[in-house]
Amino acid sequence: MKYGYRRIVKAVFSAAVVTTAALDSQALAEKADYLQSGNKSLQQGRILWLENCEGCHGYGIADAPVPMQPDDWKHRVIKEREVLYLHAIEGFIGEDYSMMPARGGNEALSDDQVKAAVDYMLFLANFYIERQVN
């Protein structure tokens, strides 16, 4: 919906529209979008990703690229994996000054744990990119 500059409009009240009932919250770990994998390393990465990355990357908060959205990741999955690891471990300021905090803001994560979370995010991103292509 577009608003004209200085446009004065009548606020239309409709009781049917305005109330949103509380919905049952779904456990993140069961969320269908976040694919499971038979690979043990990816399973571990999934747990780490859900705990440390999903809060932003699951929703595009603060411009975090969402792995379920192929356009966010097509140009990233072709980068060397070491570059992606480095950005996740050390943090990264993007061209538009968006910011990826070092280790997702969790200093307790080891390098290997961060890499495992990155691997899982790439696994997710590649799945959705391939699905779009097919």
Partner 1 sequence: MKDQKQKMKLNLKHKMKRNLLIATSAVSIATTAAVSAEVSDATVSVKAMADALHLVMDSDRSVYTKKIVNRLVKKDKVIKASEHFEDDKALALPAQMFRFGSELAAKRAEKMDDVNFSYTLQSLWPINKQNAPKTEAEKTGLKYVAENKGKNYYTTEKLGGINYFTAIYADTGVAPVCVSCHNAHPDTPKKDFKIGDVMGGVVIRIPVEG
For the CB of residue 25, give the shortest distance to partner 1 in the complex, in Å: 5
CB of 29 to partner 1, least distance (A): 14
Q: Which of 19, 32, 80, 133 binds partner 1 (CB under 8 A)?
A: 19
Burial of residue 119, with CB atoms counted within 10 A of its CB: 0-12 exposed, 13-18 middle, 19 or more buried: buried
Contact between 27 and partner 1 by CB under 8 A: the answer reads no
With both helix axes pointing from N to C terminus, report the angle between 40-52 and 111-133 in degrees, rounded to the nearest 10: 100
Span near partner 1 by CB under 8 A; candidates 40-48, 79-87, 95-103, 118-126? 95-103
Q: Is 105 in the site for partner 1 (CB under 8 A)?
A: yes
Pairwise CA distance, residues 50 & 45, whole Å:
8
Distances (CA, A) of 15 to 12, 19, 25, 51, 80: 10, 7, 24, 38, 53
Residues that bind partner 1 (CB under 8 A): 1, 3-15, 17-20, 22-23, 25, 52-56, 58-59, 61-63, 93, 96-99, 101-102, 104-106
